[in-house]
Amino acid sequence: MVDRDRLKNTDFKLENSYANLPSVFYTKQFPSYVLDPKIVILNKSLIKALDLNIDTLERDGAEIFSGNKLIEGSMPIAEAYAGHQFGHFTMLGDGRAVLLGEHITKEGKKVDIQLKGSGITPYSRGGDGKAALGPMIREYIISEAMNALGIPTTRSLAVVTTGESIAREKVEPGAILTRVASSHVRVGTFQYAARFASYEDLKELADYTINRHYPEAMNKENPYLFLLEEVSKRQGALIAKWLQVGFIHGVMNTDNVTISGETIDYGPCAFMDTYDPSTVFSSIDYQGRYAYGNQPYIIAWNLARFAETLVPLLSNNQDEAVDMAQNMVSRFNDIYKEMYLSGMRFKLGLFNEEREDENLIYDLLNLMHKNGADYTNTFRNLTLDKKCDIVMFETTEFSSWFNRWQERLNRQEKSKEEIIKLMKSVNPSVIPRNHLVEEAIEAAVKNNDYTVMNKLLEVLLRPYDYADYQEEYAKLPEPSKIPYRTFCGT
């Protein structure tokens, strides 16, 4: 592998501790050279958070974020992993991504810097390793919106165009997205180790993961059981937050479940408008496996696959190890449900817990489903005490529910101002509406116009403002006979 030009004095502090793992877990891989890289998006707030220099990146970013030049300290690799895709196990890996290294901030925080769409790797499985501009803009917009919503997520540092044309559902400009993550260790990474590597390799991966993400596990009697428990908690909290804002990931394969508990891979994702638990947007999810309402069950299934990989580490007695894994997985539903109901109480302005809260929450959701109510705007209007613009609000069933809710609010010792403040902090006034995201993508791809995207981002980065300027972005799209569909981008 022939080296290439390296840039010094960029403020990046790179190492690659992942490359200290056994070589079975990765392949050294340079990004492909691109013809004519141009920066189209730079995330200035993230640049500041990572202690990087905006002037340097405006000057050299096209070369850095295309991979044409490497940062000092970078040892680029493509990671190997496996996974269950729509329930079927397969060998995978970074088929169009290269990890440049791990940047260490002044506070000692370590984050992966990865180029997505950077060319063929040994794991490309017949693909071209490239990415089109539209899907990279989608990931940039939605990942930044998710971060603003307070949902753990990978983030987007930059998007560059490559000067190439990429054929997917249609021909688009080529692009590369720079993704920032706590790490890219996945459930699929552990599945890969359990299936294709040795016991010693699996243990090294687990120890590396604990050291990086769960160092407190080192003081526990059984660090690997603690790892399973903590990953389950983080994933339970994550999926609860997804459902609370109407987010549908679209492709919850085990290779898209991070051990850090961050949302990753924004291919066929979307936000739900009309509340319906069976909502699916992904063009390839024919059976609704990853529908909105199925997401808690799928993450439990994925965590069971993670637990299976840890069995050899949990105990020398296999029966005992299997019992440990099964007991932890069987507790997940209770873990998730507690987190989900807690968040839904907050959405209704409830500070404390009462036995009938669960019925109150699900009765509202059933009414929303029955009446075809918009998910986000229902809670937005309840927060603003606006019983208008939603047909459901005119029904006698809703009036009965509303009176129950008011009685429940009155039983807690909180002022109306405190209740509204709580509701405004968890019920977004705006979300990345699908039609708005598509308008931003279309303007960029067809007309090289990023003003639509930038204006949308300005609004999405303050989702809890409840300001007048958000009103236009809270409007619903015009009815369409064509179902909204999203695509994975590969």
Q: Which residues of 279-297 are buried (b: 16+ CB within 10 A; e: fewer)?
A: bbbbebbeeebbbbebbbe
Q: Which is nearest to 325 in space by CA: 239, 428, 227, 464? A: 227
Q: Phi/psi at 98 (nearest 5 deg)?
A: -135, 130
**How do beta strands 6-7 and 70-71 pair?**
parallel
E strands along 62-170, which residues?
A: 70-71, 77-79, 82-85, 88-91, 97-104, 110-116, 155-167
* Catalytic pick among 94, 255, 265, 374: 255
Question: What is the sign, positive or negative, of the torsion defined by CA atoms of 298, 259, 256, 173?
Answer: positive
**How do beta strands 270-271 and 38-42 pair?**
unpaired
Q: What are the distances in angstroms from CA 402 to CA 360, 364, 385, 392?
A: 10, 9, 11, 11
Q: At what angle do helices 295-314 and 223-245 cross, to 10 degrees?
A: 170
**How do beta strands 270-271 and 171-181 pair?**
unpaired
Q: What CA–CA distance (Å, rounded) separates 470 from 433? A: 12
Q: What CA–CA distance (Å, rounded) separates 116 from 94? A: 9
**DSSP-derived secondary structure letter, 30:** P
Tokens of 302: 């994925």
Alpha-carbon 466 to chain mean position: 24
Spatial CB neighbours of 355, under 8 Å, sequence gap ≥ 6: none
Q: What CA–CA distance (Å, rounded) separates 464 from 358? A: 25
Tokens of 311: 């069995």
Burial of 199: CB neighbours in 10 Å, binned 0-12, 13-18, 19+: exposed
What is the helix (H) or strand (E) element at residue 458, kind and residue range?
helix 451-460
Torsion, Cα of 177, 183, 188, 193 (10° steps): 130
Percent of residues in the chain assigned helix, strand, coil, to nearest 5: 50, 15, 35
Is 3 a catalytic site residue?
no
Burial of 278: CB neighbours in 10 Å, binned 0-12, 13-18, 19+: exposed
Q: How open is the CA angle 33-169-292, to the nearest 5 degrees?
A: 110
Residues designated catalytic:
255
